[in-house]
Amino acid sequence: MTAATRLRPSDADLAALRAEVRAFLRTELAAGRFEPVSDSWMTGFDGDFSARVAAQGWIGMTMPTEYGGHGRSPIERFVVTEEMLAHGAPVAAHWISDRQMAPGILANGTEVQKARYLPAIAAGERFFAIGMSEPDAGSDLAGVRTRAVPHDDGSWTITGTKVWTTGAHLADAMVLLARTDGGPDDRQRGLSQFVVDLPHPDIEIRPLRSIDGAEHFNEVKFHDARVGADALLGVRGQGWAQVMGELAFERSGPERYLSTMPLLRAWADLLRTTGATPEQRKTLGMLTARAWALRRMSLAVAHELDAGGRPDVLAAMVKDVGSTFEGDLVEAVRTSSGTVAARGGHDPFARLLAASVLHTPAFTLRGGTNEILRGIVARGMGLR
C-alpha cells in the first residue's frame, strides 16, 4: 500500500490508538512486567514483551499486510513508539528490526528474503543487529574494511571486524555492510549489504561491557565466514545508497529525543507528591517546553516519511538537537532533584537517575555523532 492509496488516520483515530497503547502499558506495569528505564530502546531487551507488542499489531505497522505487516501509516507508528519510549518500556529486542531492517529488506530484498524475514519481524520473533561500524570506520563509514569475496556458486566468504554492534549477542540476524569490489580508495563505490543469520560457526561475537557494567554491544569478528548467495541484500555495489536509506530510518525516530523521558516523567510525579520549589518548577517547565518543541520537529519528520519523502536533513537536525536535549535533561534533573543517584538502592527514582547518568555519553555518538550530523545539515543547506 502506498502513501497515496492509504487512508490517512484522523486525529480521533490517533487519539484512540494512543489510548489503546497507554492501556496496554498500564496493564504491563500493573502486572510488574517491566520497570520504566531510560534508554529502553537500546537496553531493554525482552523478547516476551516484544511478542506481546507484536500481538497487538504494533510491530511492522507500516509494512504491507502480504508480508505480515499492518499497512498503517508512519504517524500511527509514531504514536506507538512515542508512548513506548515515554513509558520506558523494554522495546530493544524488536527496535532495530522494526525501525530499519524491515523497511530495508522491503525496499531492497528478494521475494525469498522478504518472505523469510518480514513476517517473523512483524511477529516479534526475529531480532536484528546493525553491522556498519568498524574499529577504523565509524564516522567515516565509507572506510569499512570488512570484505566479502564471491565464489563460483554465488556464495560469499566474509572476513573482518565490526564493533559497537548493539544486541548482536542476542540477535537472530545482522545486516552487514562490506566491501565486495575495489579497494579502500574506492570509498563509497564497491560496497554491498548482506543479511547474515546468527549465530554462525565462523562469526565470533564478543560482548563489550559498558560503563554501567551491562553488555549491550559487541565486537563481531568474521573469521572467513561463508554465507549463501541468498545473503546478498539488494544490488552488489549499491550498498552505500542502501545504507543511506537505512540510516534515514535509523536517525528519524522519536527515540532521538525521548530516551530520557521516563526520568522527566518520574521526576514530575515525584514533585507532584513532595511539592516543588519555584526553581524546580522552572527547570521542569523549561525541559517540558524543549521536549514539546522537539516533538513538533520529530512529527514533521514522521509526516514527511508519511508523504513518501526522505527527510534526511531534518532528521539529522532533530537528532542533533534531540540527543543534546536528552543529556541536558539528565543533568538538569540530577542537579535540581536533590536525589543522589544510586544504582543498587531501593529508591526507584535514584536507580533511574543513576542509569540515565551512565547512559548519557552514548546519546550524541550512536547513529552518527553530532559533528557528523551538523555536516549533513550544512551540506543540506548548500554550505560547503
Ligand X SMILES: Cc1cc2nc3c(=O)[nH]c(=O)nc-3n(C[C@H](O)[C@H](O)[C@H](O)COP(=O)(O)OP(=O)(O)OC[C@H]3O[C@@H](n4cnc5c(N)ncnc54)[C@H](O)[C@@H]3O)c2cc1C
Give residue number: closest CB to ligand X. Answer: 138
> Which residues on adjacent β-strands are paired with residue 238?
191
State how far the Cα of 196 lies from the Cα of 218, in Å rounded to an integer: 16
**Which helix (DSSP H) or strand (DSSP E) does residue 343 occupy?**
none
Closest C-alpha among 83, 133, 122, 115 to residue 247: 133
Toward ligand X, which CB reaches closer, 67 or 117?
Answer: 117
Toward ligand X, which CB reaches closer, 113 or 133?
Answer: 133
Minimal distance in Å, beta carbon 241 to ligand X?
17
Minimal distance in Å, beta carbon 186 to ligand X?
19
Toward ligand X, which CB reaches closer, 165 or 260?
Answer: 165
Minimal distance in Å, beta carbon 375 to ligand X?
6
Toward ligand X, which CB reaches closer, 43 or 50?
Answer: 43
Toward ligand X, which CB reaches closer, 99 or 334?
Answer: 99
**Which helix (DSSP H) or strand (DSSP E) does residue 136 occupy?**
none
Toward ligand X, which CB reaches closer, 161 or 369?
Answer: 369
Minimal distance in Å, beta carbon 134 to ligand X?
8
Minimal distance in Å, beta carbon 363 to ligand X?
8
Spatial contact of 173 and 197, defined as CB atoms under 8 Å apart: yes
Minimal distance in Å, beta carbon 360 to ligand X?
11
Minimal distance in Å, beta carbon 171 to ligand X?
10
Max Cα-Cα span within the chain: 72
Contacts with ligand X, residue ranges (CB under 6 A): 129-133, 138-139, 164-166, 217, 362, 365-369, 371-372, 375
Toward ligand X, which CB reaches closer, 41 or 349?
Answer: 41
Dihedral sign for Cα 70, 72, 74, 80, please. Answer: negative
Minimal distance in Å, beta carbon 100 to ligand X?
10
State how far the Cα of 315 lies from the Cα of 313, in Å rounded to an integer: 5
State how far the Cα of 368 lies from the Cα of 371, in Å rounded to an integer: 8
SS3 string, 152-204, reads CCCCEEEEEEEECCCCCCCCCEEEEEEECCCCHHHCCCCEEEEEEECCCCCEE
Dihedral sign for Cα 368, 369, 373, 378, please. Answer: negative
Residues recorded for the chain: 384
State how far the Cα of 159 lies from the Cα of 145, in Å rounded to an integer: 9
Which cell numbers in the block locate residue 56?
A: 497487538
Toward ligand X, which CB reaches closer, 118 or 130?
Answer: 130
